[in-house]
């Protein structure tokens, strides 16, 4: 059986989880789920790094002991990941006794091989990085990551003969060009290796720092935090004799941000070589998330907490944004405005619209049952099928080479093609002619098959949405049970299986840049005030200026001021906290958002695909905090409310005169 092993860095517990941690861990989760989809046996490791100067300082500032501080912050990381739909196999801590044992085992092994020696060193030390810097590594005399000048420090310590492995490491990287990906970061490490490589100080005297793993050969010293932390990748899977180590270490892939490239690209491979341990398969390096203030960093206090965002905008929407917005390896800019744009454009308008339209029409024309292919596919059907096959191929090819955004683009091209297919084929017209039933069956079955494949392809990125889509398509499978080849096969939907319309997958978001708040009772009452439908059998259009309450006559010029248009409802969803308002996205040649008081008589799913008449030049109004740009016309008939519709389907935006 094929195997896949993915690790995140173990996160330093001197600060709470932020969006940078979330991105790295979500990427690892996506890669792990993708390989599960291919049928691989997988192992996904994350955890926390808990020793060193910075932890002691943070604990002192909090007024607690280092272990108590580490316990608290480590628990925050452990509790955060399930809330982001992250399913890791193991969570390791560097304070775990088994990890301590393996670190000491490796240290002793390297020491016994003569690769560790004792010496006095004087240099420039950054407390934030917990390492010595050379002059050439500083930027304007400051640490490049912490923007602070290092302090001069002289100490007697133990050193690892890292310089001995410089030529070997260069040769390895040149003969294995994909050992560090993307290539820019391999080139960055090679550029660093053009200068003489110094030996690595791997200890700290207990008299200065006692919060660490004691050296097995000298109890007066503790291990340098990097020589401790990096070993987690093998200690977590039972090095040296464990079965998991034997199974998974040969296929190990590390996932890191570029700020820790040097320890992973230089320290770690030379440590492994000195210990006689085979190297990892790939080191995958991503860029920084930035805001308007610059790099997002806990050191500078500029962070975004993922659990502040996910509940507001939706967990799967948050995951989608991170993977779609960042080109792996490059920096990306984060803003809530960009997040909202992705949600509204990609998720609500594209995917949500396709799914709602497909299920609503299946319900209307085939009693919520999957129809057969009633006729031979025509050119448009085959073209859409080819687009789906191409999306599957790109998905399969791009994720292993870190092209997450490319895989998502391919999936969304498929979604866009399906939406255009609906507009062009116009199933509502086919439904009018019984002789065209076989063609309607093929069209709707084609659309259902597209939605099924899309649901499978988004499963690594948006697992909850995938399950929801599959359930509503009549497929009861967990994402871990999906298999790419089997579950993206065309025509595999069960004929006659029941589909469920349900609510919109992704409601549009109207407020960006701040947390969305649910309206209270007072706000809801205010929003509903004055919105009661008028009694009597008359269209509920606004009264133009100059018309009296008694229904005075108007002339033709005044009537012409009212811009009445035919619109096609593309998307519909109930407004939270209101029993009668529904929010519509209506196509009148351009997209309009309209809030209508028709929820008591019309379900959102039934509205999608209907043509209506609306007042297009009405001043915008806010209902329940949602802006409405027009008014749908309806007729009150006793307790019933019926929409005003054209006699036959016309082009969206047609002007009524």
DSSP 8-state code for residue 129: T
Nearest in space to 459 (alpha carbons), one of 481, 437, 442:
481
Reduce the DSSP state of residue 152 to 3 states and report it.
strand
Looking at 249-297, list the stretches that DSSP marks H as alpha helix, in order from N- to C-terminal side: 261-262, 268-275
User: Does an H or E element contain 642, and which?
Assistant: strand 640-643
Beta-ladder partners of 124: 133, 152
Q: At what angle do helices 166-175 and 183-192 cross, to 10 degrees?
A: 160
Strands (E), 127-230: 131-133, 151-160, 180-181, 200-201, 203-205, 214-215, 218-223
Active site residue 282: no
User: Does an H or E element contain 304, and which?
Assistant: none
Q: Which two tokens stand for residue 115?
A: 């690769």
DSSP per-residue codes, 603-633:
-HHHHTT-EEEEESSPPPEEETTEEE-SEE-
How far apart are the C-alpha atoms of 55 and 66, rounded to whole Å? 6
Active site residue 21: yes
Are residues 213 and 233 in contact, defined by beta-carbon separation less than 8 angstroms?
Answer: no
Active site residue 254: no
Of the residues 129, 179, 201, 414, only one is catalytic, namely: 129
To 5 degrees, how large is the angle CA 393–CA 340–CA 461?
A: 30
How far apart are the C-alpha atoms of 511 and 200, rounded to whole Å? 51
Active site residue 298: yes
Are residues 203 and 215 in contact, defined by beta-carbon separation less than 8 angstroms?
Answer: yes
Of the residues 35, 143, 264, 629, only one is catalytic, namely: 143
Looking at 458-575, list the stretches that DSSP marks H as alpha helix, in order from N- to C-terminal side: 463-472, 484-487, 521-528, 556-560
Of the residues 35, 126, 264, 414, only one is catalytic, namely: 126
Are residues 461 and 409 in contact, defined by beta-carbon separation less than 8 angstroms?
Answer: no
The string over 10-23, giving b where at least 16 C-beta atoms fall within 10 Å of a residue's C-beta and e elsewhere, is bbbbbbbbbbbbbb
How far apart are the C-alpha atoms of 432 and 413, rounded to whole Å? 30
Reduce the DSSP state of residue 657 to 3 states and report it.
coil
How far apart are the C-alpha atoms of 7 and 233, rounded to whole Å? 7
Q: Which two tokens stand for residue 656?
A: 């009524």
How far apart are the C-alpha atoms of 111 and 107, rounded to whole Å? 6
- Cα separations in angstroms, 94 against 21, 70, 97, 345, 415: 18, 10, 8, 43, 45
Are residues 263 and 230 in contact, defined by beta-carbon separation less than 8 angstroms?
Answer: yes
To 5 degrees, how large is the angle CA 22–CA 25–CA 27?
A: 105
User: Does an H or E element contain 123, and which?
Assistant: strand 116-126
Q: What is the CA radius of gyration of the chain?
A: 31
Of the residues 298, 369, 405, 406, only one is catalytic, namely: 298
Of the residues 21, 51, 501, 629, only one is catalytic, namely: 21
Residue written as tokens 């086919």? 430
Of the residues 109, 262, 295, 385, only one is catalytic, namely: 295
Given CA atoms 307, 312, 316, 319 in this order, what sign does their dihedral have? negative
The answer for 39, left when phi > 0, alpha when psi is -120 to 50, beta otherwise, is: left
* Sequence-ordered list of residues with C-beta below 8 angstroms from that of 407, at least 6 positions apart, any chain: 394, 395, 398, 399, 457
How far apart are the C-alpha atoms of 15 and 77, rounded to whole Å? 10
Active site residue 146: yes
Of the residues 90, 109, 146, 258, only one is catalytic, namely: 146
Active-site positions? 18, 21, 126, 129, 143, 146, 295, 298
């Amino acid at each position: 059986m094929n195997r896949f092993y993915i690790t995140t860095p173990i996160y330093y517990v001197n600060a709470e989880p932020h969006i940078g941690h979330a991105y790295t861990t979500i990427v690892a989760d996506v890669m792990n789920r993708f390989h599960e989809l291919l049928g691989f046996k997988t192992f996904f490791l994350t955890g926390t790094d808990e020793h060193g100067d910075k932890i002691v300082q943070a604990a002192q500032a909090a007024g607690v002991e280092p272990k108590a501080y580490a316990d608290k912050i480590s628990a925050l990381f452990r509790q955060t990941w399930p809330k982001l739909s992250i399913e890791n196999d193991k969570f390791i801590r560097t304070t775990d006794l088994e990890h301590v044992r393996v670190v000491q085992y490796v240290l002793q092994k390297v020491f016994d091989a003569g690769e560790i020696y004792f010496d006095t060193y004087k240099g420039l030390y950054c407390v934030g990085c917990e390492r010595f810097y050379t002059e050439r590594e500083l930027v304007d005399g400051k640490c490049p990551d912490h923007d602070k000048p290092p302090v001069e420090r002289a100490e007697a310590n133990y050193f690892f003969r890292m310089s001995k492995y410089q030529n070997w490491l260069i040769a390895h990287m040149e003969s294995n060009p994909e050992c560090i990906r993307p290539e820019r970061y391999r080139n960055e490490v090679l550029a660093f290796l053009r200068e003489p490589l110094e030996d690595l100080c791997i200890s700290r005297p207990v008299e200065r720092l006692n919060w660490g793993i004691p050296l097995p050969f000298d109890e007066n010293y503790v291990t340098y935090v990097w020589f401790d932390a990096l070993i987690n990748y093998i200690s977590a899977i039972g090095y040296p004799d464990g079965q998991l180590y034997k199974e998974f270490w040969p296929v190990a892939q590390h996932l890191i941000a570029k700020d820790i490239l040097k320890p992973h690209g230089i320290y770690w491979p030379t440590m492994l070589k000195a210990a006689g341990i085979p190297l990892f398969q790939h080191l995958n390096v991503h860029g920084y998330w930035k805001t308007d203030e610059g790099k997002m960093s806990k050191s500078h206090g500029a962070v975004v907490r993922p659990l502040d965002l996910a509940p507001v905008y939706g967990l799967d929407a948050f995951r989608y944004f991170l993977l779609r917005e960042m080109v792996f390896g490059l920096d990306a800019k984060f803003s809530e405005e960009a997040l909202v744009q992705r949600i509204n454009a990609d998720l609500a308008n594209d995917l949500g619209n396709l799914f709602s339209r497909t299920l609503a029409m299946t319900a209307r024309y085939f009693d919520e049952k999957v129809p057969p292919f009633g006729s031979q596919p025509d050119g448009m059907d085959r073209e859409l099928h080819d687009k789906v096959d191409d999306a599957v191929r790109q998905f399969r090819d791009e994720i292993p080479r870190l092209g997450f955004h490319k895989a998502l683009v391919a999936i969304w091209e498929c979604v866009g093609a399906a939406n255009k297919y609906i507009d062009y084929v116009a199933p509502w017209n086919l439904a009018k002619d019984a002789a065209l039933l076989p063609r309607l069956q093929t069209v709707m079955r084609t659309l259902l098959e597209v939605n099924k494949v899309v649901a499978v392809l988004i499963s690594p990125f948006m697992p909850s949405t995938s399950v929801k889509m599959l359930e509503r398509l009549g497929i009861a499978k967990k994402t871990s049970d999906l298999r790419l080849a089997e579950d993206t096969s065309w025509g595999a939907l069960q004929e006659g299986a029941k589909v469920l319309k349900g609510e919109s997958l992704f409601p549009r978001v109207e407020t960006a840049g701040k947390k969305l708040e649910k309206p209270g009772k007072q706000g809801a009452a205010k929003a509903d005030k004055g919105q009661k439908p008028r009694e009597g059998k008359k269209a509920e259009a606004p009264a133009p200026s100059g018309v009296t309450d008694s229904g005075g006559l108007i002339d033709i010029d005044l009537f012409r001021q009212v811009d009445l248009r035919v619109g096609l409802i593309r998307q519909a969803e109930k407004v939270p906290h209101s029993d009668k308002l529904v929010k519509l996205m209506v196509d009148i040649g351009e997209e309009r958002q309209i809030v209508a008081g028709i929820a008591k008589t019309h379900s959102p799913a039934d509205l999608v695909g209907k043509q209506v008449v609306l007042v297009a030049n009405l001043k915008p109004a806010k209902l329940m905090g949602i802006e409405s740009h027009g008014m749908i016309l309806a007729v009150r008939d006793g307790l019933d409310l019926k929409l005003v519709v054209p006699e036959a389907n016309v082009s969206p935006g047609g002007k009524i005169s």
